[in-house]
């Protein structure tokens, strides 16, 4: 009986970890940690979150280009906003969050 209980608990823990690991990245939290310093102030020419006019020419290039620039860096912006430990999906979630007000 103890083995069955231990196996059940192990299975539940594995499922919980799997669900957590597959959860969608929190774009807002990533933005706050990696992007906000420049995209809230316009530092180094960064387009400010919510400024439709500043984002318009960038959006014309398409989302894939925006993602590519965010992941690999572009002009003054470092790759992944300087947070090299972020996954590509986390960076994309931050970009999506940043663009919500203008889409």
| CATH classification of the domain holding 40 | 1.10.760.10
Q: How many domains does the chain have?
A: 1
Residue 77, pLDDT score: 95
Q: Is residue 48 part of a domain?
A: yes
Residue 87 lies in a domain: yes
Region of 48 please: left (phi>0), alpha (psi -120 to 50) or beta. Answer: beta
End-to-end CA distance of the chain: 56
- Determine how many CB atoms are found less than 10 A away from the CB of residue 91: 23
pLDDT in tens, 25-75: 999 999 999 999 999 999 999 999 999 999 999 999 999 999 999 999 999
Which range marks the domain in which residue 82 is found? 25-102
The residues, ordered by sequence, that sit 6+ positions from 48 with a Cβ below 8 Å of its Cβ are: 39, 40, 41, 42, 54
Task: Give the distance from CA 61 to its chain's centroid.
Answer: 19
Task: Tell me whether residue 19 is in a domain.
Answer: no
Q: Which residues pair with 74 in a beta bridge?
A: 77
pTM comes to 0.78
pLDDT for 2 equals: 63
List pLDDT tens digits, range 7-20: 554 556 555 554 55
Residue 16 lies in a domain: no
């Amino acid at each position: 009986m103890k083995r069955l209980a231990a196996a059940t608990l192990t299975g539940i823990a594995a499922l919980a970890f799997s669900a957590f690991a597959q959860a969608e990245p929190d774009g807002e939290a990533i933005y706050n940690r990696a992007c906000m310093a420049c995209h809230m102030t316009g530092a180094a020419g960064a387009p400010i979150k919510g400024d439709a006019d500043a984002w318009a020419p960038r959006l014309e290039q398409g989302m894939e280009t925006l993602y590519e620039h965010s992941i690999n860096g572009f002009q003054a912006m470092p790759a992944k906003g300087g947070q090299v430990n972020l996954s590509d999906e986390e960076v994309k979630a931050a970009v999506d969050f940043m663009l919500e007000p203008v889409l």
